[in-house]
Amino acid sequence: MNYKGKAHKVGDHIDTDAIIPARLLVTTDAAKLGENCLSGLEPGWVRRVRKGDILVAGRNFGCGSSREHAPIAILGAGIPVVVAHSFARIFYRNAFNMGLLLMEAGDDAEKIQDGDTLEIIPAEGRIRDATRSLDIVCPPLPESMSAIIAAGGLVGHVKRRLGKS
């Protein structure tokens, strides 16, 4: 499945408290968490997002806590893909487990500007910046991640191992 949406840029080292402040972690509901997506960066940040838009970040996106509420809040805000220079380790695992697609673009992430129209072609690891007529190709996913995605996320993967699906 491919994606198309408008890019919303944020900076380096965006931490999980910026993505969803800890005091709001009193629910597991995606819609409620989504309403506060990135409110630790800027109150009301999420109001600029339309369903299907794409988040573009710098280095070490998602650093800090292990809260799975962070990828859930991004998904709950209607954002299906995050492009970044690099991702923090725990966030990386959590995102795939939750079905949020991550594209690790390295230095090329900087070429994308706020408001650009992006097309994401996961099978090719390709980000097409339609505004700038620019193609960025990301390294292929590790096999373990591909296996989890093929099973529809970690829940499906474990269900299969337990012989419940």
Partner 1 sequence: MPKTLTQKIIQAHSDEAVERDGQIAQCRLSLVLANDITAPLAIKSFRAMKADKVFDRDKVVFVMDHFTPQKDIDSANQVLICRAFAKEQNITHYYEGGNCGVEHTLLPEQGLVGPGDLVIGADSHTCTYGGVGAFATGMGSTDIAAGMALGETWLKIPSAIRVEYTGIMPEWLRAKDLILMLIGEIGVDGALYRALEFGGPVVDALPVEGRLTMANMAIEAGGKAGLFPVDAQTKAYCAEHGRPEPNFTLAADEGAPYERKVIFDVTGMEPLVACPHLPSNVKPVSELADTPIQQVIIGSCTNGRISDMRDAANVLRGRKVDRNVRCIVLPSTPEVWKQCLREGLLEIFMEAGCVVGPCTCGPCLGGHMGILGDGERAVSTTNRNFRGRMGSLDSEVYLASPVVAAASAVVGSVAGPAQL
**Using CB under 8 A as the criterion, which residues of the chain lie in contact with partner 1 when the complex forms?**
13, 15, 17-18, 21-23, 25-28, 40-41, 43, 59-60, 63-69, 71, 86, 88-90, 93-94, 97-98, 142-144, 153-155, 157-159, 161-162, 164-165
Nearer to partner 1, 86 or 116 (CB): 86
Measured from the CB of residue 89, what is the shortest distance to partner 1 in angstroms? 5
Closer to partner 1 by Cβ: residue 23 or 47:
23
- What are the DSSP calls for 6-65, one per residue? EEEE--SS-BHHHHS-GGG-S---HHHHHHTTTTTTSTTGGGG--TT-EEEE-TTBTBS-
Which residues are 54's β-sheet partners?
A: 7, 81
Q: What's the closest the beta carbon of residue 25 comes to partner 1, in angstroms?
A: 5
Q: How far is the CB of 74 from partner 1 (least distance, A)?
A: 13
In the bound state with partner 1, the residue whose beta carbon lies nearer, of 3 and 92, is: 92
Q: In what order do the strands lie in the sheet with 81-84?
A: 101-104, 81-84, 54-57, 3-9, 117-121, 126-129, 134-137
Which CB atom, from 54 or from 86, has the smaller least distance to partner 1? 86
CB of 134 to partner 1, least distance (A): 25
- Residue with Cβ nearer partner 1 (130 or 158): 158
Which residue has tokens 């794409």?
Answer: 54
Please report how close the Cβ of residue 156 comes to partner 1 at its closest, in angstroms: 8
Q: What sign has the CA pseudo-torsion 11, 84, 79, 130? A: positive
Nearest to 141 by CA among 99, 95, 103: 103
Grouping H, G, I as helix, E, B as strand and the rest as coil, residue 133 is coil
DSSP class of residue 139 equals P
